[in-house]
């Protein structure tokens, strides 16, 4: 916004208008400055929409750092309850390795419960950090980005893989906020169970339709995806999912 010119509209003792160059007039003041608008820190809740690994990592950091920190004497969630939520979620993730809708539903429920505990703690930290970044970070949480500042993107998860055309697999992943696009990599699984080298796919703008093309029908492949963008250029690689190409 352009600066507005300052105007002097006072009068001298005789009622004559005062000018900046009036003889004998001494300027002894300061141009008033606009009030400083303080930055209000917020706790980042990116973990809530991130991958399962992001939720586990955040919970572990908070469990390690928050409890016993003088700035946070009375957390609304006890360390025992947070640890129990973490243990249950990790066990549920392991159970999904065997497949099945029941195991997937149970993992989702355990994730929701753990995220809710973390949300309660995040609100508490935001209230008690006294708008100090070091104090906020001492809790194990991360600060939300402000303005146009970029931050690292959370790691997506592959949630489903289907067959497309012959020699093509299509992955669906959790959406990552602020991602510009997504890319994947595939590796053939040899008959003896060993994994071949990773081969990168072209980037796609849709987390629900990441295409792996040029594959060999009948071969089992390991797949990973990652989000493109953020302060580091891309997120970490996702969980690895195996699927046979038709």
Cα separation of the two ends of the chain: 61
**Distance, CA of 79 to CA of 60 (rounded, Å):** 11
Residue 186 burial (CB count, 10 A) = 23
Tens digit of pLDDT at every position of the chain (246 positions): 445 444 555 666 677 776 666 666 665 555 555 554 556 889 999 898 888 888 998 999 999 999 999 999 999 999 999 999 999 999 999 898 777 899 999 999 999 999 999 999 999 999 999 999 889 999 999 888 765 556 788 899 999 999 999 999 999 999 888 888 999 999 999 999 999 999 998 878 789 999 999 999 999 999 999 998 887 788 899 999 999 999
pLDDT at 6: 47
CB of 159 closer than 8 Å to CB of 174: yes
Interatomic CA distance for residues 113 and 2, integer angstroms: 51
């Amino acid at each position: 916004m352009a600066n507005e010119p300052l105007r002097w509209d006072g009068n001298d003792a005789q009622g004559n208008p005062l000018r900046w160059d009036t003889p004998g007039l001494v300027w002894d003041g300061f141009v008033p400055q606009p009030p400083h608008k303080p930055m209000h820190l917020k706790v980042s809740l990116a973990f809530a929409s991130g991958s399962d690994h992001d939720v586990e990592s955040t919970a572990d950091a908070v469990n390690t750092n928050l409890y016993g920190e003088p700035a946070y004497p009375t957390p609304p969630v006890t360390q025992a309850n947070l640890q129990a939520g973490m243990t249950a979620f990790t066990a549920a993730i392991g159970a999904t390795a065997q497949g099945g809708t029941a195991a997937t539903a149970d993992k989702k429920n355990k994730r929701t419960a753990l995220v809710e505990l973390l949300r309660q703690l995040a609100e508490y930290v935001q209230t008690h950090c006294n708008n100090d970044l070091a104090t906020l970070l001492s809790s194990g949480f991360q600060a939300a980005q402000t303005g146009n500042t970029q931050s690292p993107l959370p790691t997506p998860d592959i949630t489903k893989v289907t067959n497309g055309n012959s020699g093509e697999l299509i992955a669906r992943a959790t959406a990552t906020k602020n991602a510009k696009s997504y890319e994947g990599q595939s590796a053939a699984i040899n008959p003896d169970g060993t994994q071949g080298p990773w081969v990168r796919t072209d980037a796609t703008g849709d987390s629900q339709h990441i295409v792996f093309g040029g594959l060999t029908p009948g071969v089992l492949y390991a797949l990973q995806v990652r989000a493109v963008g953020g302060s580091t250029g891309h997120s970490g690689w996702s969980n690895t999912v195996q699927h046979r190409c038709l």
